[in-house]
Structure 1
Amino acid sequence: MNANTQAGDEHVELAVEVFTMLADVTRVKILLALREGEQSVGDLAAAVRKPTPGVSQHLAKLRLARMVVARHEGTRVFYRLADDHASELVSVAMHQAEHMLGTAPEHIRVTQESSTDRA
């Protein structure tokens, strides 16, 4: 193997870790909630309708994956998205879900069908 192949494999392995982080309903809901801006752990727990300790554990995993960033204010902890990448991944996954359910906006379905017809 050359250096480029090894670097490629490393990137693929990290990409799989990203998808593993997103393979949990609660974590995806947390990321969706954080698209609206910084929120406290309690607010996120209410938004995803899960107990605060469980949400804290999910946030810790997302923080270790560098998808979210924590800010302490006294005894409260606030979280925000680290960057737009996780949000974009969730958006693409949600759009794919729309296609799977047949609920994608008409203009997207037509574009897809047109592309298929030409092939």
Structure 2
Amino acid sequence: MNQLPPAALEHVARYFRTLSEPTRLRILNVLGTGEMSVGDIAVQVDSSIANVSRHLTQMAQYGLVAREHRGNSVLYRIADPAVHELCDLVCGSIGRRLEATVAERAAFNPAPAKAAGGRPARR
């Protein structure tokens, strides 16, 4: 991002906004297994075909997914494999922060002492 002009930064921001919707992340997740039709994607993400189609259109605008006509069918696939690398990076970072938070909280809430027989001791 070094020295990107404002117009380029605006495009980057729109790309990230496209990724900020949970349904779109679920769509990308199911497309990670291979090409799928809108109907198949809708079933997998538990959404309507119209809703999934709307999300796919926006994701196609930003190069996240590509569509291919095969006969009467339209199949969607991940267009940019870097999106998985980006999501893995972000998910890993969030996971590490959550683990650190859990560890910090645990330091202030020690587990109750166990009495004989594995039951918490009464005070």
TM-score w.r.t. length of structure 1? 0.73
Q: Which has the higher contact order (CA 8 A, sep 6+)?
A: 1
Q: Distance in 1 between matches of 2:90 and 2:28?
A: 12
Q: For 1:91, which of 78, 88, 91 is the aligned residue?
A: 88
Identity %: 32
Q: Distance in 2 between matches of 1:86 and 1:100?
A: 21
CA contact (8 A) 1:32 1:90 kept: no
Q: CA deviation at 1:83?
A: 1.8
* Structure 1 runs of 4+ with >3 Å offset: none
Aligned to 2:38: 41
CA contact (8 A) 1:69 1:81 kept: yes
Q: Distance in 1 between matches of 2:40 and 2:90?
A: 24
Q: Distance in 2 between matches of 1:88 and 1:8?
A: 25
Q: Distance in 2 between matches of 1:47 and 1:71?
A: 20
Q: CA deviation at 1:20?
A: 0.2
Q: CA deviation at 1:48?
A: 0.9
TM-score w.r.t. length of structure 2? 0.71
Q: Which amino acid aligns with 1:15?
A: V
Q: Distance in 2 between matches of 1:59 and 1:98?
A: 27
Structure 2 unaligned blocks of 5 or more: 101-123
Q: Distance in 2 between matches of 1:97 and 1:44?
A: 26
Q: Distance in 2 between matches of 1:97 and 1:47?
A: 25
Query: In the alignment, is residue 76 of structure 1 matched against residue 73 of structure 2?
Result: yes
Q: Distance in 2 between matches of 1:97 and 1:8?
A: 29
RMSD between superposed Cα atoms in Å: 1.9
Aligned to 1:23: 20
Aligned to 2:120: none
How many pairs does the alignment contain? 99
1:39–1:17: structure 2 CA closer, same or farther, 3 Å change rule? Answer: same
Q: CA deviation at 1:97?
A: 2.6
Q: CA deviation at 1:93?
A: 2.1
Q: CA deviation at 1:11?
A: 2.6
Which protein is richer in helix relative to its size? 1
